[in-house]
Amino acid sequence: MNRKLITLVLIVISLTVVTGCTEKPTANSKVGQKQGAVQAAPVYKPDPVIFSGIRGESLSFINDQIQLDESILEKGVAYYFNTELDGETIYFFVVQDKNGVYRAAGNACQVCADAKKGFDQVGNDMVCNTCGNKYPLEKIATEKGGCNPVPVNPNLKSVGGKLIIEKSDFEELKGYF
Tens digit of each residue's pLDDT (9 = 90 or more) over 80-115: 999 999 999 999 999 999 999 999 999 998 888 889
The per-residue pLDDT of the chain, averaged, comes to 84
Rounded to 5°, angle at Cα 175 from 113 and 44: 80
Query: Are the C-beta atoms of residues 62 and 164 closer than 8 Å to each other?
Result: no
Q: Are strands 79-85 and 57-58 parallel, antiparallel or unpaired?
A: parallel
Measured distance CA(32)–CA(171) in Å, rounded: 55
Query: Where is pLDDT greater, at 5 or 156?
Result: 156
SS3 166: strand
Q: Express each pLDDT in 16-66 by its tens digit.
A: 555 554 444 455 544 444 555 566 666 766 667 898 899 999 999 999 999
- The gap from C-alpha 73 to its chain's centroid, in whole angstroms, comes to 28
| pLDDT for position 36 | 56
The span from the CA of 4 to the CA of 67, in Å, is 94
pLDDT at 3: 72
Predicted local distance difference test score (pLDDT) of residue 25 = 47
Q: Which of 27-36, 62-71, 119-128, 162-171 has the lowest mean pLDDT?
A: 27-36
What is the rounded distance in angstroms from the CA atom of residue 69 to the CA atom of residue 96? 12
Residue 1 has pLDDT above 70, yes or no: no
Q: Which secondary structure element, helix H or strand E, spans residue 91, and what is its range? A: strand 88-96
What are the chain's domains?
57-173 (2.102.10.10)
pLDDT value of position 121 = 97
pLDDT score recorded for residue 109: 83
Q: What is the pTM of this model?
A: 0.72
Question: What is the structure's pLDDT at 145?
Answer: 79
Residue-level pLDDT at 6: 67
With contact defined as beta carbons under 8 Å apart, do 53 and 119 qualify?
yes
Give the pLDDT confidence score for residue 20 in this predicted structure.
Answer: 54
Burial bucket for residue 120 (CB in 10 Å: 0-12, 13-18, 19+): middle
* 3-state DSSP assignment of residue 151: strand
**125: confidence class by pLDDT, cuts 50, 70, 90:** very high
Edge-first strand order for the sheet with 65-69 is 65-69, 162-166, 157-159
